[in-house]
Amino acid sequence: MTGTADAEVVCLGESMVTFLPSRPGPLADVPSFDRTIGGAESNVACALAAAGHRVRWVSRVGADGFGDHLVRSVAAYGVDTSGVRRDPHRPTGIYFRTATDRATDAHEVVYYRAGSAASAMSPDNMAPEDLRSGALLHLSGITAALSDDCLALMRALTARTPGRPLVSFDVNHRPNLWRDPSGVRVLLDLARGADLVFVGEDEAAAAWDLHGAEAIRAALPEPRTLVIKRGAAGATVYTREPETTALGTAGAPPATPVTPVTPASSAYGHDSAHGREAEYGHEAEYGREAEYGRDTVVSVPALRVDVVAPVGAGDAFAAGFLSATLRGLPAAARLRHGHLMAAAALTVPGDLGAPPARADADRLAGLDARAWGRLRLGPGWTEATEQEVRTP
């Protein structure tokens, strides 16, 4: 799709042509690969567009066949690609990966992205009218690691300047992309300039030596909304909502009081539950951070999912949360929609899973805590009818 007026969301970042193995095993032994696409920000754009939002993806690709395939594939999801520039001198990035979990020693990923068209993005060659054309601008830390020019662009976009859109930033710490250890500090600085931040509890520990949700919030008091992904334990959101209510003019939807509910079991893996986790809300204030206002803190347990491949789940979670934010849903519902979108990605081999129909997602997000805790989703669940997706 080209030329969507009044985009709700603009996503900036590199996307690549992805080659998935035709069978498990080391890359050296895989006889053939299936071609697809992948990239943190374009994943978010595609998931949001598939969920019914007006989305524009802004990037650079090579003037080559892979660039053609990438732009056509992203546009097929309903994403506006009019902000994608073609570079006649640099190639489109590609990568190969094994079918195994990233967390295992057997997992292999081979990138061919050095000197790619997207790595040449800079404040001088990316049109401000494209980047500021939506109510919300979604970025990730991956872009900052691609080159000095990309880092300069990210610094400019996260600077707190008048009239900028709401800025969403997914930390997406990728240690192997950074040329020196300063990247961990850069990511913290960029996050502090955003209005809404996504970060994994594990990556905050690895990158910043911050352990636990409260320590992460203390280090990141500036964003109005901070979402901390806690793996199998679920996710926690810290929110300080502004008084104005229109997302397009002042940021986020109005705050909604959170009512504590009874505990529900949670799991986010193949088979096992990970203890008892309550879905709850409370208010918190942190010493010197008190100047930023009082947080409402909400936690929601993850779902039990029969995982096919874990790649793309974080991007899908961000898309689900952003979709619910754009719709003005309360904090707990935003987290639940994030979990549901992540489950759609976890139950397919590639980066992108078809999201559930909005009515089905709303129905599942509206389950009571006990039914949510007992829900289990497997491959094909987003195509099931209401009767087929059982809600105990």
Can you tell me which residue has the tokens 């970042």?
Answer: 13
Identity of the residue numbered 238: Y
d(CA 295, CA 292): 9
- The angle subtended at Cα 352 by Cα 109 and Cα 330, nearest 5°, is 120
3-state secondary structure of 364: helix
Residue 172 has a CB neighbour count (10 Å cut-off) of 24
CA distance 121 to 144: 10
- Partnered with residue 38 across adjacent β-strands are 16
DSSP strand pairing (94-97 vs 16-21): parallel
Query: In terms of residues, how long is the chain?
Result: 392
> Which tokens in the block code for residue 359?
């009515």
d(CA 16, CA 112): 9
The encoded tokens of residue 96 equal: 């190969």
* Distance separating alpha carbons of residues 313 and 330, to the nearest angstrom: 22
Q: Which of 80, 87, 170, 315 is catalytic?
A: 315
Distance CA(69)–CA(245), nearest Å, equals 40
On whether the CB atoms of residues 146 and 119 are closer than 8 A, the answer is yes
Q: What is the DSSP string of 278-324?
A: --EEEEE--GGGGGG-PEEEEEEPPPEE--S--TTHHHHHHHHHHHH
Tokens of 81: 């690609």
Catalytic status, residue 295:
no
22: number of Cβ within 10 Å: 12
Q: Which two tokens stand for residue 248?
A: 């397009």
Q: Show which residues are catalytic.
A: 315
